[in-house]
Amino acid sequence: MSDATTTDAASAENAAAEGDTKQTETQTVSQADVDRIVKERVARERAKYADYDDLKAKAEGSKTLEERLAAMETELTTTKTQALKTSIAAKFGISTEPGPKGEPSDADLFLTGSDADSLTAQAQRLAGRDADRKKQGNVAPKEGSTKSEGTDEGEHRSFARELFGGTD
């Protein structure tokens, strides 16, 4: 027990001596010393993060690679869909040429699906309508037929003649 008591007393004396030393140091430290200490501390912190700019540049580079990959995947999907659309349009005889005055082609207007099944269904429907129209031809149901109701001019015409004094 005496050893523990002696150790505790020695520790207390050392702590008191260090506290006195710290108080003495804080009183004798000049502004130049404080500036030097702060500069050293800042330099140590900067040294810890010296490669931050390089890491940041690499991270930005990886973002651009990811963005480029996503753009290429989108372009691939679009190209595959366009090739499928062109193939199905050719199979069903649907025009892929732009219309007059830069209008979109029939395939661009009517084939709007993104998978083979929907594009095929749309192409079949369009081809069926086109075939029906060609089969029937251009029809004007009442062309060439005029119905005359005889020489009866009707009430309105006779009223106008009487009003203006017209004669036969």
Global pTM? 0.43
> Which residue segment(s) compose the domain that 99 sits in?
55-135
Q: Scan for tokens 């973002």, then name that residue.
A: 63
Based on the structure, what is the number of domains in the chain? 1
The encoded tokens of residue 42 equal 């800042």
Q: How far apart are CA 109 and CA 161, in angstroms?
A: 57
Domain membership flag for residue 152: no
Please give the average per-residue pLDDT across 35-40, as a whole number: 92
- The answer to whether position 76 is within a domain reads yes
In this prediction, residue 1 carries a pLDDT of 47
pLDDT in tens, 80-109: 999 999 899 888 888 888 888 888 888 888
Residue 155 belongs to a domain: no
Domain presence at residue 163:
no
User: Do the domain assignments include residue 17?
Assistant: no
What per-residue confidence (pLDDT) applies to 6? 47
**What is the per-residue pLDDT for 72?**
94
Would you say 113 and 119 are in contact if contact means Cβ atoms under 8 Å apart?
yes
Q: With respect to residue 35, please indicate whether it lies within any of the assigned structural domains.
A: no
Gap between the terminal Cα atoms of the chain:
152
